[in-house]
Amino acid sequence: MNKQLGFLHNSEKCVGCRGCEMACKNLYQTDISQRWRQVFQIDENAYPLPSRMFISIGCNHCSEPQCMKVCPVGAYTKRDDGIVIHDDNRCIGCRLCVMACPYGRPQFNSVINIVQKCNLCYQRVDKGEKPACVASCVAGALELVQINSSLDAKTGVLKTLPGLPSPSITNPSIRFVGPKQGKQVRRD
Amino acid sequence: MMKISRRQFLGATAAVTAGAGLFSFEMLTKLDPASAAADNSETKQFRNVCPRNCYDTCGQISFVQDGMLKKVDGDPKHGYTNGRLCVKGYTYTRRVYSPDRIKYPMKQMPRGSGNWTRISWDEAMDTIAKKILDLKKRYGSTLPICFDKYSGNFGILHYAADGTMSSIGYTTRAVGTPCWPAGIDAQTYDFGTLYNNDPEDMVNTKYLILWGQNLAWTAIHSLPFAQKARENGAKLVVIDPILTSTASKADLYIQIKPSTDGALALGMARYILDNNWVDWDYARANSVGFDEWIDYLKNNVTLDWAASKTGVPKEIIMEIAREYATSKPASMWVGYGMQRHTNGGQNVRIIDALGVMTGNVGKSGGGVNYGQLETWGFNYGAMSYSAPKGSRGIVGANGKEGDRSININNFAHDVMAQQDPPVKMLWLACRNPGGQDPDTHAIEKMFASMEFVVSVDSFFNKTVQMSDIVLPATTHFENWDVNASYWHYWIGINEMAIQPMYESKSDLEIAMLLSKKMNALEAGSCTYPTSGSEQEWLAKEFNAALNASLGISNYKELSNGPRKVKMPPAAWSDGKFRTPSKKIEIHSNQAEKNGLPALPIWVEEMKAPEKYPVRLMTPHPQLGLHSQFQNLDWMMAANPEPKLEIHPNLAAKYGIQEGDKVKVFNDLGDITLKAHLTRTTSENVVVSYEAWYNKSNYNVNYTVKAIPSDMGKQATGNNGLAFHDNFVDLQKV
Q: Name the minimum distance, in Å, from the CA of B634 to any CA of chain A.
A: 6
Phi and psi, residue A84, nearest 5°: -95, 120
Contacts of B413 (CB under 8 A, 6+ apart): B442, B446, B706
Name the residue ranges covered by the structural domains of chain B.
6-96, 106-178+376-564, 181-370, 614-732
* A119 in contact with B, Cβ within 8 Å: yes
* B234 in contact with A, Cβ within 8 Å: no
Contacts A52 to B, Cβ<8 Å: 243-245, 248, 680
Span B511-556, pLDDT tens digits: 999 999 999 999 999 999 999 999 999 999 999 999 999 999 999 9
Give the chain B residue whose CA is nearest to the CA of A29: B29
Architecture of domain B614-732: Beta Barrel (2.40)
How much is the pLDDT for B8?
A: 33
Please judge whether A28 and B29 are an interchain contact, meaning their C-beta atoms are less than 8 angstroms apart: yes
Pairing of strands B643-646, B670-677: parallel
Give the chain B residue whose CA is nearest to the CA of A141: B224
Contacts A88 to B, Cβ<8 Å: 31-33
Cα B105–chain centre separation: 27
Span B684-707, pLDDT tens digits: 999 999 999 999 999 999 999 999
Give the chain A residue whose CA is nearest to the CA of B87: A19
Would you say residue A86 lies in a domain? yes
CATH code of B106-178+376-564, in short, is 3.40.50.740
User: 3-class secondary structure for B262-282?
Assistant: HHHHHHHHHHHHHCCCCCHHH
Give the chain A residue whose CA is nearest to the CA of B317: A185
Please judge whether B220 and A138 are an interchain contact, meaning their C-beta atoms are less than 8 angstroms apart: yes
Pairing of strands B106-108, B661-665: unpaired
B645: helix, coil or strand? strand
How much is the pLDDT for A118?
A: 98
With a cut of 50, say whether residue B396 has pLDDT above it. yes
Give the count of alpha carbons within 13 A of B592, CB side only: 9
Please judge whether A50 and B678 are an interchain contact, meaning their C-beta atoms are less than 8 angstroms apart: yes
* A19 in contact with B, Cβ within 8 Å: yes
> Which pLDDT band holds residue B466 (cuts at 50, 70, 90)?
very high
Phi-psi group of B59: left, alpha or beta (phi > 0 → left; psi -120 to 50 → alpha; rest → beta): beta
Would you say residue A142 lies in a domain? yes
The mean pLDDT of chain A is 97
Q: Name the minimum distance, in Å, from the CA of A127 to any CA of chain B.
A: 10
User: Is the domain B6-96 a CATH 3.30.70.3040 member?
Assistant: no
Span B369-380, pLDDT tens digits: 999 999 999 999
Would you say residue A184 lies in a domain? no
Domain that holds residue A25: 5-177
How much is the pLDDT for A122?
A: 98
How much is the pLDDT for B29?
A: 54
Would you say residue A187 lies in a domain? no
- CA distances, B89 to each of B59, B69, B103, B252, B576 (Å): 10, 14, 22, 31, 38
Span B77-127, pLDDT tens digits: 999 999 999 999 999 999 999 999 999 999 999 999 999 999 999 999 999
Touching B: A residues 43-62, CB under 8 Å: 44, 50-53
Looking up residue A49, the CATH number of its domain turns out to be 3.30.70.20
Cβ contact A19:B220 at 8 Å: yes
How much is the pLDDT for B9?
A: 32
Please judge whether A23 and B223 are an interchain contact, meaning their C-beta atoms are less than 8 angstroms apart: no
Q: What is the DSSP letter of B303?
A: H
With a cut of 70, say whether residue B476 has pLDDT above it. yes
Span B704-731, pLDDT tens digits: 999 999 999 999 999 999 999 999 999 9
ipTM of this predicted structure: 0.98
Mean pLDDT of B302-312: 98
Contacts A85 to B, Cβ<8 Å: none
Pairing of strands B172-175, B404-407: parallel
Of A17, A44, A127, the CB nearest to B678: A44
Mean pLDDT of B204-211: 98
Give the chain A residue whose CA is nearest to the CA of B34: A123
Contacts B245 to A, Cβ<8 Å: 15-17, 52
Please judge whether A23 and B90 are an interchain contact, meaning their C-beta atoms are less than 8 angstroms apart: yes
Phi and psi, residue A100, nearest 5°: -80, -30
The answer to whether the pTM exceeds 0.80 is yes
* B28 in contact with A, Cβ within 8 Å: yes
How much is the pLDDT for B583?
A: 98
**Total structural domains within chain A:** 1
Contacts B251 to A, Cβ<8 Å: 182-183
User: 3-class secondary structure for B671-692?
Assistant: EEEEEEECCCCCCCEEECCCCC
> Which pLDDT band holds residue A2 (cuts at 50, 70, 90)?
low
Contacts B221 to A, Cβ<8 Å: 138
Pairs of CB atoms within 8 A across A/B: 158
Mean pLDDT of A13-32: 98
Neighbouring CB atoms inside 10 A of A149's CB total 6
Euclidean distance between CA atoms A24 and A4, whole angstroms: 21
Contacts A141 to B, Cβ<8 Å: none
- Give me the amino acid identity at A105: R
Would you say residue A92 lies in a domain? yes
Cβ contact B9:B99 at 8 Å: yes
| Residue-level length of chain A | 188
With a cut of 60, say whether residue B22 has pLDDT above it. no
Span B116-167, pLDDT tens digits: 999 999 999 999 999 999 999 999 999 999 999 999 999 999 999 999 999 9
* B255 in contact with A, Cβ within 8 Å: yes
Query: CA nearest B347: which of B314, B321, B309?
Result: B309
With a cut of 60, say whether residue B32 has pLDDT above it. no
With a cut of 90, say whether residue A160 has pLDDT above it. yes
Neighbouring CB atoms inside 10 A of B663's CB total 15
How much is the pLDDT for B397?
A: 87
How much is the pLDDT for B81?
A: 97
The highest-level CATH class for domain B181-370 is alpha beta
Would you say residue A183 lies in a domain? no
Span B228-285, pLDDT tens digits: 999 999 999 999 999 999 999 999 999 999 999 999 999 999 999 999 999 999 999 9
- Give me the amino acid identity at B607: K
How much is the pLDDT for B40?
A: 52
Of all residues in chain B, the percent with pLDDT exceeding 70 is: 94
How much is the pLDDT for B42?
A: 86
* A106 in contact with B, Cβ within 8 Å: no
Buried b / exposed e over B529-558, threshold 16 CB at 10 Å, is beeeebeebbbbbbeeebbebbebeebeeb
